[in-house]
Chain A
Amino acid sequence: MTDVTIEKPRSQWADVWAQFKTHRGALVGLVVFALLILFVSVGPLIWTKDPTAINPNAAEMIKSRNKPPSLASPLGTDQLGRDMLARMMKGGQVSIAVGLVAMTISLFLGTLVGVMAGYFKRLDGPLMRLTDLFLALPLLPLLLVMVLLFRDPLSAAFGPEGGTFLLIVCAIGVTSWMQAARVVRGEVLALKEREFVLAARSIGTPSRRMILRHILPNVVSPIMVAATLGIASAIITESALSFLGLGFPPDFPTWGRLLFDGAEYIQQYPERVIWPGVAISLTVLSVNYIGDGLRDALDPRIRGR
């Protein structure tokens, strides 16, 4: 008699993780991204200096300007004597928050349009025409125009920070859902031909439950890949807007804004450009690598090889 060892049943996500681990870049990216998140979320609890505090005493303020790195402020101070490390943390919070929220909005829109277009034949034509039209819009100029025109009214309604945040997040979300919509639609069209969908339909499943129960869980993988890439592009777009001076207000740090402020002093204090720039690049690079690894890990044709 031979020993029949039955392998323990493995869940899908354990498989995905096992494949993800083999992608070295993705693993490094995950670690770097986690460290950056820790830096901006836990960092301010440890390093409790106020990022926007300007010394009210003018003489003291002038003395504390443009300090090189020291124990009191490890990254030095800026042209108004504000602590750069605290500003980097605060700026990172905003930049990453913008990335996450904008990505959520764009994914929600993209998935909605994609599923609707893929599932309901009547909506397919009009929705895909709409997607094509949006793809033909010049996005950066439009974003700039939107920020210019809606910044003041929204700032008046929700406060300068809340208003700008809302505006930038919505503007990026509304202009970046098209890729996700196309991918999701393709997946849904393929899924609709599968037997389990036919089976579900034959027992009279209504469309709503069909989409939520059978379609959506099966398009999670492309959505996840789109999500990681969405974070990266949203962070770049936000810092580009801030860099052009059309993002958040001046006293409200984001990484892009810090870079913009530092660019004027690039000859005397180059590190003020380097820090925020490296932070943006590291975030985007790590997120892109995570996306790369996820794409491989979630593709069942590659997995297990």
Chain B
Amino acid sequence: MLTYTIRRLLLAIPTLLFISLVIFLLVDFAPGSPMSQIPLTVPPDVRMKIIEAMGANEPVHIRYLLWLNQFFVVEPLVWLDGTLGTTYSEGMQRIISWQSRSPVMDVIAQRIPQTLTVIGTSYVLGVLIALPIGIYSAYRQYSWFDQIGTFIAMIGFSVPTFFTGLVLILVFAVNLQWFPSIYDTNLRVTDWESFLQQVRQMAMPVMVLALYNAAQISRYMRSSMLENLGQDYVRTARAKGMGERTVVLKHVLRNSMIPVVTVIALGIPTIFGGAIITEQVFRVNGLGALLIGAIQGSDLPMVQTLTFIFAMLIVLFNLIADILYGILDPRIRYD
């Protein structure tokens, strides 16, 4: 198991390097970069100064290495200094946003809590809804419960989240006026009253994302259960007189959870991407909104860093899914 984990870890390094290179080059070689947007009336020496101030006068490979150094050496050191009170990173150049002139990582750190509360809650809720539905509709295949569940799941992942979001706003915010349509980031949960308000403003974004996630996971759960229900060991378990409950909830469920757990792990980074849209609909001031703002303001360091963080999340959760698969299914480890 250890060698398996180490092998997966080593494979992740070239993947991350390649992705960082792709992101860096894509953003860098693009013809629409801010360097080309400096007005032509600016004198050449001033123009050189501007480009130099942006750090854009070096050749591409140097800038790539500098960025890698900033991302993998300087920023962790800054974080270390912040938590331990040391001064390793003194005098080192951090990744600076072109828009706000403040370090990119500080801005990101401010935005992460909003994204995590909304997305985390919705994902957990989605999984909690999806698993029982998937189990029961597989157990009673083609029953009315299964038919309705399949139909709702189909709707759940066919209807785009920005449309479900707008419909929910229309119903619950405009007509019924139960929930606010705009997420208030400044709300501090201090007492029961503000907690209720937080729940109310989270209700709609969480509903949208939970429906979307539950739709996908319940389908996986259902097909995985169906596959296992037809296996020989289920017949054996029933033949030796085990209760139906034990057969389904112990034998079948445990075996069908193996692929589902990895699907759940793999889904976590993709919902960060999907949340970009939901955050935009409900004006949640999180990472997605930050990315959209940076893209519209041509803030290349912010875009590069954020996109790379999303990529790192994907690689990380791929790794976690692989390792989980190895732990849960011994057959995988020995190939």
- With the chains together, A277 CA to B314 CA distance in Å? 30
**With A138-B310, A284-B158, A289-B154 as contacts: A145 and B303 at CB distance below 8 Å:** yes
Binds A, one of B100-108, B224-232, B291-299: B291-299
Cβ-neighbour of A266 out of B166, B295, B296, B313 (below 8 A): B166
Q: Is B318 on the interface with A (CB-CB < 8 A)?
A: yes
* Cβ–Cβ < 8 Å partners of B155 in chain A: 281, 285
The yes or no answer to A144 lying at the interface (CB within 8 A) is: yes
CA distance A137 to B24 in the complex (A): 13
Residues facing A in B9-63 (CB within 8 A) are: 15, 18-19, 22-23, 26-27, 30-33
Kindly identify, within residues 280 to 301 of chain A, every residue whose CB is under 8 Å from any CB belonging to chain B: 280-281, 284-285, 288-289, 292
Q: What distance in Å separates the Cβ of B265 from its nearest Cβ neighbour in chain A?
A: 14
Q: Which residue of B lies closest to A142 (CB)?
A: B307
In the complex, chain A residues whose CB is within 8 Å of the CB of B311: 136-138
Contacts of B274 in A (CB 8 A): 140
Pick the residue among B160, B292, B303 that contacts A280 (CB under 8 A).
Answer: B160
Once bound together, how far apart are the Cα atoms of A151 and B306, in whole Å? 21
> Of residues A142, A246, A281, which shows the largest number of chain B Cβ atoms within 10 Å of its Cβ?
A142
Given A137-B22, A144-B292, A239 contacting B273 (CB threshold 8 A): no
Measured CB to CB, the nearest residue on chain A to B291 is A141
Contact assessment for A145 and B166 in the assembled complex, using a CB-CB cutoff below 8 Å? no
A148 to chain B, nearest CB (A): 5
Q: Is the CB of A149 within 8 A of B30?
A: yes
Enumerate chain B residues within 8 angstroms of A142, measured Cβ to Cβ: 23, 26, 307
**Are A149 and B170 neighbours in the complex by a CB distance under 8 Å?**
no
Interface residues on B, range: 35 or more
How far, in Å, is B31 (CB) from chain A's closest CB? 4
| Chain A binding surface, main DSSP class | helix
A133–B296 CA distance with the chains assembled, in angstroms: 27
Taking the nearest CB of chain A, how far is it from the CB of B317, in angstroms?
Answer: 10
Task: Let me know if A137 and B19 touch, CB within 8 A.
Answer: yes
A residues 117-154 touching B (CB-CB < 8 Å): 132-133, 136-142, 144-146, 148-153
**Cβ contacts B145-180/A at 8 Å (1 or 0 each):** 000000000110111101100110110001000000
Top 5 A-B pairs, shortest CB-CB distance? A149-B30, A138-B310, A277-B163, A285-B158, A140-B273
> What are 9 A-B pairs at a CB distance below 8 A?
A25-B154, A137-B19, A138-B313, A141-B306, A150-B32, A153-B32, A266-B169, A288-B154, A289-B154
Interface residues of A, Cβ cutoff 8 Å to B: 25, 132-133, 136-142, 144-146, 148-153, 232, 236, 239-240, 243-246, 259, 263, 266-267, 270, 273-274, 277, 280-281, 284-285, 288-289, 292
- B interface vs A, CB < 8 Å? 15, 18-19, 22-23, 26-27, 30-33, 154-155, 157-160, 162-163, 166-167, 169-170, 174, 269, 272-274, 276-277, 280-281, 291-292, 295-296, 298, 303, 306-307, 310-311, 313-315, 318
